[in-house]
Each structure stands twice: as C-alpha cells, then as structure tokens.
C-alpha cells in the first residue's frame, strides 16, 4: 500500500485496524488472516455465510471471466472508466463491492492512480481476480453484513449488478465520496430473454427503482445509459446464459434450444448511476 493510503481493512473479529504483511494480516489483538497464494485475504467468518461456498459458483465465475475476455462488455468498462468521478485529480480509494472476477475494478486500476479494493462473497471470484490483477487488494467478505473496511475511507464505491448495503456504503464512504450503481438498462439482453421465453414483464427498467431505494442516504447526481448491439457466437451465448440468473430461471428445453444457436445479436444495456450525499 503506497502513500497517501493507509490500510483501510479492519479485523472482522474485533474491528481493530489490520496491519498488512506479506504472508499475513493481523490486528493488535492477534487475530491472524493468511494471504492466499493468489494474493487475496479471506476475511469472511464462518458465521457470516449461509453455505460453504456462498455467492457465484465456479462455473458462473469462469463463464463471466470468459465473457468479459471475449470483449463483449468492453464498452461497459470504457464507460465506467470515463465517468466524471474518476476525473478528480489525485489518487482515489475505490471499493468494488460484489466485484466478481474483477474485470471492472482491474480495468480502473490500470486506467488511473489509486488504491483499489475488491470484495466478493465468492471465494472463486476473488481467487481469479487476485491472480490476474496484482495491483489491487482483494478480499472475501459478505457485503450484506458489516464490511471489514474503515469508516470514511473510500472516495468511490462501485456496486455493479451486485447486492447493495446502503448503510455500510454510507459508513465507508468519505463525506464527499460517490456511490456508483450499475443496473441493467432498458431492453438489456431482450433477444436472449425472448429466446428463453420470458414474458415482457421481465424487461422492467431498474434504474428508477435503484435510485429510489438509495434515496434516504444518497441522491442521484448523474445517470448514463449505455446501449449497443453485439453479435455473439456459440460459446459467448453459452457463457452469457451461465453467468446470469437467466440460467436458473429458464426451462431446460428453451435453454437447450438457445445453446444450439451459432450466433445471436443481442442488445446490451446498462444504466450507471452516480449518487452522492
């Protein structure tokens, strides 16, 4: 951790500051947390999870990694990195809560100077994020519980297609910090949803609802909608189905039929909300 940043991590057992070491992080009370060989730190205590392997499973995480690597979501990375909050001068402390396999935070950490912290409840996701993006810090943690991160330590918190814990985001953000929420935009993946025989009721726009839920603590400062078409090949279609909740919610026959398609043009749409206090 380079100056001006101090380690913002807190011991999940007692709340004291965690002192970083090469092989281990520990607090003054002697609670130890090993640094895994991939470089991440597991700060998820057993009573903070409902199952042995919570969050996205290995198949979902690897499908998401392949899909990002195919370039189909590159415009999303570019849009995110170009948001005005990242134009602020000087290094920024950025937390990505529900970071998945780390593509978006990884892109940000390459694009600008700062301290980058990725947190996800899925160990597999954090494992492959930390293996690829050594310049960032990665932790396994439950974003819906108290996060092991210091009060008022972050300039920006990202919550992209992930569960939101507004009270914790409010605690962790600096007073002039910004929360970036990414939700599916209008007609996101509409062609795939049609193929999987979802009703039109599933295409609801999510941004107004998200902004309203954030309203007690945050107000909307900026909204950007990114929409584009892209042509997917067979492997990309399979990965996209695997990595989204569509996989679990669609019937086996509809799913098998889509998997047979050699190509499918899809609409990709994301709304990025910037919220401040």
User: Where does this chain touch ligand SAM (CB under 6 A) — which range of 19-27, 97-105, 106-114, 194-202?
Assistant: 97-105
Spatial distance between the Cα atoms of 163 and 34, rounded to a whole number of angstroms = 27
Closer residue to Zn ion in complex, CB, 26/91: 26
Q: Give phi and psi for 24, each to the nearest 5.
A: -155, 145
**Residues 26 and 19 sit within 8 Å (Cβ to Cβ):** yes
Here the tokens at position 249 are: 């919610």
Is residue 157 a contact point for Zn ion (CB under 5 A)? no
Closest approach of ligand SAM to the CB of residue 89, in Å:
26
Closer residue to ligand SAM in complex, CB, 26/111: 111
Closer residue to ligand SAM in complex, CB, 181/211: 181
Closest approach of Zn ion to the CB of residue 151, in Å:
16
Is residue 43 a contact point for ligand SAM (CB under 6 A)? no
Place of tokens 């999870």: 49
Spatial distance between the Cα atoms of 215 and 219, rounded to a whole number of angstroms = 6
Closest approach of ligand SAM to the CB of residue 238, in Å:
17
Q: Under DSSP, is residue 269 helix (H, G, I), strand (E, B) or coil?
A: strand
Is residue 241 a contact point for ligand SAM (CB under 6 A)? no
Residues within window 115-154 making contact with ligand SAM, judged by CB under 6 A: 120-122, 125, 142-144
Q: Which of 14, 24, 152, 212 binds Zn ion (CB under 5 A)?
A: 14
Kind of pairing between the strands at 92-97 and 114-120: parallel
Closest approach of ligand SAM to the CB of residue 73, in Å:
8
Q: Which of 10, 12, 43, 55 binds ligand SAM (CB under 6 A)?
A: 55
- DSSP secondary structure letter of residue 203: G
User: Where does this chain touch Zn ion (CB under 5 A) — which range of 12-20, 61-69, 132-140, 186-194?
Assistant: 12-20
Q: How many helices (H) and strands (E) does the chain have?
A: 10, 10
Closest approach of ligand SAM to the CB of residue 4, in Å:
27
Interface mask (CB under 5 A) for Zn ion, residues 24-43, using x and -? ---x-x-x------------
Kind of pairing between the strands at 24-26 and 32-34: antiparallel
Distances (CA, A) of 205 to 162, 178, 190, 259: 16, 22, 12, 26
Q: From the CB of residue 37, how many other CB atoms can be counted at a distance below 10 Å?
A: 10
Omega cis (within 30) before 4: yes
Contact set with ligand SAM (CB under 6 A): 55-56, 64, 98-100, 103-104, 120-122, 125, 142-144, 160-163
């Amino acid at each position: 951790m380079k100056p001006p940043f101090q380690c913002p991590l807190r011991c999940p057992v007692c709340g004291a500051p965690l002192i970083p070491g090469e092989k281990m992080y520990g607090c003054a009370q002697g609670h130890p947390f090993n640094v895994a060989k991939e470089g991440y730190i597991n700060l998820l205590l057993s009573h903070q999870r409902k199952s042995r392997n919570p969050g996205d499973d290995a198949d979902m995480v690897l499908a998401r990694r392949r899909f990002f690597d195919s370039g189909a979501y590159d415009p999303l990375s570019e849009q995110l990195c170009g948001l005005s909050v990242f134009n602020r001068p000087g290094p920024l402390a950025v937390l990505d809560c529900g970071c998945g396999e780390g593509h978006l935070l990884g892109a940000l950490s390459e694009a600008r100077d700062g301290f980058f912290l990725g947190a996800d409840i899925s160990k597999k996701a954090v494992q492959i994020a930390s293996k690829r993006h050594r310049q960032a810090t990665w932790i396994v943690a439950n974003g819906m519980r108290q996060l092991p991160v210091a009060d008022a330590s972050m300039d920006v918190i990202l919550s992209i297609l992930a569960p939101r814990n507004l009270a914790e985001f409010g605690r962790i953000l600096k007073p002039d910090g910004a929360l970036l929420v990414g939700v599916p935009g209008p007609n996101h993946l509409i062609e795939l949803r049609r193929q999987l025989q979802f009703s039109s009721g599933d295409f609801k726009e999510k941004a107004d609802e998200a902004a309203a839920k954030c309203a007690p603590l945050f107000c909307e400062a900026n909204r950007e909608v990114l929409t584009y078409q892209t042509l997917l090949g067979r492997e990309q279609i399979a990965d996209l189905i695997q990595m989204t909740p569509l996989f679990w919610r669609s019937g086996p026959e509809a799913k098998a039929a889509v998997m047979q398609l050699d190509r499918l043009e899809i609409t990709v749409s994301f709304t990025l909300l910037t919220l401040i206090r």
